[in-house]
Amino acid sequence: MARQRVRIMERMGRAERTAGGEHRPGGTGGFSPLLWVAAAYAWRLIVVGAAVYVIFVALGRFHLVTLALFLALVVTALLEPLTDLLDRWMPRSAAVTAGLLLGIVLVLGVLSLVGATVAGEWQGLSRELEGGVTRIERWLERGPVHLRHGTLSQLQSWLSRFIATHRSSLFNTAVSGLGRLVDVLTVGALALFCSVFFLHSGGRMWRWFGGQLPEHRRGPARIGGRAAWTTFTGYTRGIVVVAATNALLVGVALFILGIPLVVPLAVLEFFAAFIPLVGSPVALAVAAVVALAAKGPLAAVVVVLLIVVIGQFEGHVLHPLVMSRAVRLHPVVVALSVICGAVTAGVLGAVVAVPLVSVVWSVYGVLRTTDLTVPTP
């Protein structure tokens, strides 16, 4: 830092002497050297901030394409080990096809299991929820809250009147949701299409991209790209292991407690775990509401305690054991990343924020500690 400041002041002094101006002490034109250094860094930060803003605007403009590419990278990171294993006994094209088919069958099987479970338990769950609402109302009236009698009934009638009054707007929202469904199908098709090429010839595509760069930029690009992919694959596979473990623990606990909809709630916990620090408690809060309606306050309290236990287990055991090599970020950085991502792009931003920050930090770390003047193999 000090040497860089000295170089900046020397360049300023030479510029003043070249221009024939009066040379003041320090070569800073009468201003404080600290002010010159701050100004030199300020305009650079402004340029970097403007570039980041333009990138985010472009990504937001083409958010469907960005989402499809992100999903394709996730699929590639998850299926690459299986594809490489199958590649030993069959051609690469057949290995990619088999890996993708197995992944699609697994996802459709889980969704079918969830649908069958909800359909099979729906009637019994409706009766339990009706009785649970009555129990909750009695508990709120007689418990420490002392809710006025008939408040929940009035709330239910108000909700019915609201739905009847705003039926047209709700219908328009549902119709717009069909447009969202088309977007989801488009993103899924594009992600699957890109996944095929990433799994089949992703290495050749990256080498081609590196070949388009100037000679002195190819080494840093190769090193940074390797670090970025290692971090991304480590994070993706690690978060899947963490999410599956959380879902298994939640499913077993809810089954022991006799809570209905065990499989859908466990699947909800699996997908919610992809949002660090926030997703898992939200999913378990939904399970607590179902437990409160179906089994009463005691079961809901047990589920709330389960939130604390699983949170501690995830933070102190799973993440350090599974993801310590891929993600070396302080929990405060993770929390701020999730919040900033959610504010910027909603749920998708919360999911993408941590892997994005992890990749950027790993690339910065490897480029900072690598001597780029030595040719890389």
Q: What is the pLDDT of residues 165-200, one digit of tens each?
A: 655 565 555 555 555 677 778 888 898 999 999 998
Name the pLDDT band for 293 (thresholds 50, 70, 90): confident
Which one has a higher pLDDT value, 293 or 231?
A: 231
Q: What pLDDT score does 358 carry? A: 84
Average pLDDT over residues 285-291: 81
Average pLDDT over residues 310-333: 72
Quick check: 78 and 240 in contact, CB under 8 A? Answer: yes
Q: At what angle do helices 151-165 and 167-211 cross, to 10 degrees?
A: 80
320: helix, strand or coil: helix
0.75 surpassed by pTM = no
Quick check: 196 and 100 in contact, CB under 8 A? Answer: yes
Q: What pLDDT score does 26 carry? A: 47
* Residue 321, token pair as written in the block: 């054991």
Average pLDDT over residues 316-330: 69
pLDDT higher than 70, residue 13 = no
Which one has a higher pLDDT value, 53 or 365?
A: 365
Average pLDDT over residues 334-338: 77
**DSSP 8-state assignment for residue 29:** T
**Closest listed residue to residue 283, CA positions, set 267, 305, 297, 299:** 267
Rounded to an integer, what distance in angstroms lies between the CA atom of residue 140 and that of residue 218?
A: 67
Quick check: 292 and 136 in contact, CB under 8 A? Answer: yes
Which one has a higher pLDDT value, 150 or 332?
A: 332
Residue 93: φ, ψ to 5°: -60, -45
Q: What pLDDT score does 101 carry? A: 92
Region of poorest pLDDT, from 62-66, 78-82, 137-141, 268-272: 137-141
Name the pLDDT band for 18 (thresholds 50, 70, 90): very low
What count of other Cβ atoms lies within 10 Å of the Cβ of residue 354?
A: 24
Average pLDDT over residues 58-83: 84
pLDDT higher than 80, residue 227 = yes
Q: What is the pLDDT of residues 94-142, one digit of tens each?
A: 989 998 999 889 888 877 877 777 666 666 666 666 666 666 666 665 6
Burial 138-177 (b: 16+ CB within 10 A, else e): eebeeeeeeeeeeebeeeeeeeeeeeeeeeeeeeeeeeee
pLDDT higher than 50, residue 25 = no
Region of poorest pLDDT, from 7-21, 257-271, 298-312, 325-339: 7-21
Which one has a higher pLDDT value, 259 or 59?
A: 259
Whole-number mean pLDDT of the chain? 75
Gap between the terminal Cα atoms of the chain: 31
